[in-house]
Each structure stands twice: as C-alpha cells, then as structure tokens.
C-alpha cells in the first residue's frame, strides 16, 4: 500500500490544513465516510477508476508521482485557428488560473518578453487589436480583413475581462526589460504599412499603449498593491509564467504566440522558481526605487512610443 500512501500524501498537499482528507475523498468519489476512511487507513485500495478520478480532480500527474525519471508530463492549451477557439482559450485559461490562485498565499511570476496579455483585456481598442493580431498570426489561412471590419462578440470580451480580474486579484511579480514593449509597437506599424489598419486607428493604438504604461507606472508606485515590477538589463525574457500557491508550483512555458505547455513537475518547477528569484535579485525593483529610477524606465518606454508615432506621421506626410 506504499503507492496509495504516496498518492494520499500528494492529495493532502493540495488541501488547506483545515480541510478533512476523509471528507474530501468521500466527496470527490461520491462514497460514504466509512468507505473513504478504509481507503485512507489502507484497509482497502483505490480502484483504477478512482485513482484516475482523484488524479484528474487534483491535477496530479501519476507518472510524475510514481516514476522518477527525466520525463515531464505536460498538458497544453488548445490550438487557436478561429475566434471561437480563442474564446475557449480565454475561458479555459481564466478557469485554470483562478483555480490555481484561489489561495491567500498565491503569487504569479511573469517573465515579460512581451507586455503581459492581461493588460490587453479591458475592452479598449487595443484589446480588439491584440485579438486581431493573434488570430492573423496563429492562422495563416485567416482571411485578411481590415481591422475596422474585424468584429468580436460580447462573450469574447466577457472571458477576457474575467481573466484580467483573476490577474488583478493575485500577488503579481513581473520582470521587464527595455524590449518588452517592442513587439506591440511593431505589430501596430506592420498592420498599418500592410494597409490593414488605418491612420486614425493606428494613432489610437499607440496612445492606448501610453495609457497602459501610465497604468503600470501608477500600479508600481502604490504601496501594498500586491504588484511588483522588476527591470532586468542582463537577460532576454521569454514569457514564462509560474504560479505558486498552497506549497505547489505550476509552470506555463510558451511554445507558440499564445500556446503554453503546462506542468507541475516538481523538480522542473522548483528550478524555474529559483531562476525567477535569481532574475529578481539581479533586477531593479521599480516599486522600491525612487521616482527618478521609475521615471527613467517609463520615460524610455514613452519615448519609444513617440518615435513610432513620428514614423507613422512621417509616412502620412510623405503620401501627401
């Protein structure tokens, strides 16, 4: 019964200390209190079906638990080719992150190669544009419609806002560098030069990026907001996400623009957690820096945006 004891120990780690393991097993398997007690006390074994049901419920990898080797068991986010796929992606992501962060000690770490997608989920023109970009880049067969003719329904925004709400209600630590905003700037310019984005919309998008930078600057200047941003000059970032909650680590590793591999493999997640902490040690905490250091960082970002606005206006002047 050694394996069953190991399995029960893994389940117990998922539960708050105040929750009865006996009650949990009885509830999840829909069995009596006595039947659950017999399994916990090793007087009877879990059936195969019960073990799978419990593993799925608590997101426990049986492979990781019982076979100590270099293989890492992962799940992955859904593939996106249509707006419906993207809607399901955001719906599932919101549910998954909410479940993982539903603990008082939960913290989310984000290695921001690009501006974290959560900032584009507030119903503005930039929210719509990012959905437009993601869909065009993820599906090469997507019909090339102009941005102004691109339509997303209300349910899409509903799930985006839910995901944004989850992000705003958990302790967040983001690591940025000077290139984090580059891809968003280049995407606006690219679709304008491709004739799929008009001048008015492009200008509005650049101004919306300024709004986001002002929002982040304001957040990092507030004490006890649960938000921290670190400026790292040494390494290239990669959009990795790590969630720490209830003594458990879960890692999200990007493999496409929005696609992520997800794993709670203990050794791998522990290594990434240590790497995040090392990143932060080698970074400048903008929350703890003075106004001068904060202004230096955010003013550089604003100057980049102004540079792209000037490029946009110069192209219009040349056309006339």
pLDDT for the residue numbered 66: 64
In this structure, are 96 and 57 located in the same domain?
A: no
Task: Note whether 100 and 52 are same-domain residues.
Answer: no
Cα separation of 209 and 184, whole Å?
A: 8
Residue 304 backbone zone (phi > 0: left; psi -120 to 50: alpha; other: beta): alpha
CATH classification at residue 18: 1.10.260
Based on the fold, state whether residues 46 and 144 are members of the same structural domain: no
Q: Measure the CA–CA gap between 266 and 263, rounded to whole angstroms.
A: 9
Each residue's pLDDT tens digit, 247-296: 889 999 999 889 999 998 888 899 999 999 999 999 999 998 889 999 99
The verdict on 56 and 203 lying in the same domain is no
Q: Which domain range does residue 62 map to?
A: 2-66
- CA 60/CA 11 separation, integer angstroms: 8
CA distance 159 to 241: 20
Angle, helix 291-319 to helix 199-220, in steps of 10 degrees: 180
Mean pLDDT for the stretch of residues 147-157: 86
DSSP class of 250? E
Average pLDDT over the chain reads 88
Cα–Cα separations (whole angstroms), residue 176 to 236, 283, 303, 311? 9, 9, 17, 25
Say what the pLDDT of residue 320 is. Answer: 44
**Domain end (from 26, 47, 66):** 66
Residue 276 sits in the same domain as residue 158: yes
Mean pLDDT score, 33-39: 90
Same domain assignment for residues 218 and 164: yes
- Per cent of the chain over pLDDT 90 is 50
The long-range contacts involving 28-35, CB below 8 angstroms and separated by at least 24 positions, are 28/53, 28/54, 28/57, 29/53, 29/54
Percentage of residues of the chain with pLDDT beyond 70: 94
Cα 28 to Cα 2: distance, rounded to the nearest angstrom: 22
CB-CB neighbours of 75 under 10 Å: 12
Kindly indicate the confidence band of residue 160, based on its pLDDT and cuts at 50, 70 and 90. Answer: confident
Nearest to 126 by CA among 152, 145, 106, 97: 152
What angle, rounded to 10 degrees, do the helices at 125-138 and 199-220 form? 110
Are 96 and 242 found together in one domain?
Answer: yes
- Provide the pLDDT for residue 319: 53
Hunting for tokens 């995040």 — which residue is that? Answer: 276
Q: Which of 19, 42, 66 is the last residue of a domain?
A: 66
Both 102 and 243 in a single domain?
Answer: yes
Q: Are residues 106 and 54 in the same domain?
A: no
Residue 146 shares a structural domain with residue 214: yes
Helices (H) and strands (E) in the chain, counts: 12, 8
List the beta strands (DSSP E) in 69-182.
75-76, 107-111, 171-176
How many C-beta neighbours within 10 Å does residue 275 have?
A: 15
In tens, the pLDDT along 51-70 reads 888 888 887 777 666 655 56
Given 17, 38, 66, the domain boundary residue is 66
pLDDT at 221: 82
Distant-in-sequence, close-in-space partners of 184: CB < 8 Å, separation ≥ 6: 114, 115, 209
The mean pLDDT of 217-222, rounded to a whole number, is: 88
Which of 311 and 142 is assigned the larger pLDDT?
A: 311
Residue 90, phi then psi, degrees to nearest 5: -70, -35
Residues 6+ apart with CB under 8 A from 282: 232, 234, 235
- Closest by CA to 58, choosing from 30, 35, 28, 88, is 28
Global pTM value: 0.78
Supply 218's token pair. Answer: 């304001």
Residues 206, 153: one domain?
yes
Q: How confident is the model at residue 318 (pLDDT cuts 50, 70, 90)?
A: low
The total number of structural domains that make up the chain: 2
Of the candidates 286, 250, 285, 255, which has an alpha carbon nearest to the alpha carbon of residue 268? 250
């Amino acid at each position: 019964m050694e394996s069953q004891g190991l399995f029960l120990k893994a389940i117990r780690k998922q539960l708050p200390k105040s929750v009865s393991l006996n009650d949990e097993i009885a509830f999840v398997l829909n069995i009596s209190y006595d039947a659950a007690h017999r399994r916990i006390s090793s007087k009877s074994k879990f059936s195969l079906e019960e073990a799978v049901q419990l593993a799925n419920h608590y997101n426990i990898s049986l492979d990781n638990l019982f076979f100590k080797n270099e293989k890492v068991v992962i799940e992955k986010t859904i593939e996106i080719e249509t707006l419906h796929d993207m809607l399901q992606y955001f719906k599932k992501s919101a549910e998954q992150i909410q479940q993982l962060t539903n603990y008082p000690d939960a913290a989310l770490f984000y290695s921001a190669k690009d501006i974290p997608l959560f900032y584009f989920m507030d119903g503005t023109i930039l929210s719509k544009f990012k959905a437009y970009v993601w869909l065009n880049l993820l599906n090469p067969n997507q019909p090339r419609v102009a941005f102004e003719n691109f339509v997303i329904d209300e349910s899409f925004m509903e799930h985006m806002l839910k995901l944004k709400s989850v992000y705003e209600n958990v302790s967040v630590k983001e690591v940025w560098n000077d290139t984090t905003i580059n891809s968003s700037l280049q995407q606006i310019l690219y679709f304008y030069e491709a004739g799929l984005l008009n001048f008015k919309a492009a200008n509005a998008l650049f101004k919306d990026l300024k709004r986001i930078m002002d929002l982040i600057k304001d957040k990092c200047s507030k004490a006890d907001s649960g938000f921290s941003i670190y400026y790292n000059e040494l390494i290239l970032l990669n959009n990795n996400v790590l969630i720490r909650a209830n003594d458990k680590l879960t890692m999200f590793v990007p493999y496409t623009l929005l696609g992520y591999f997800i794993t709670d493999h203990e050794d791998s997640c522990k290594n990434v957690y240590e790497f995040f902490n090392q990143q932060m040690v080698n970074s400048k905490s903008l929350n703890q820096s003075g106004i001068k250091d904060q202004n230096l960082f955010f003013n550089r970002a604003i100057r980049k945006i102004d540079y792209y606005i000037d490029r946009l206006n110069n192209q219009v002047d040349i056309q006339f």
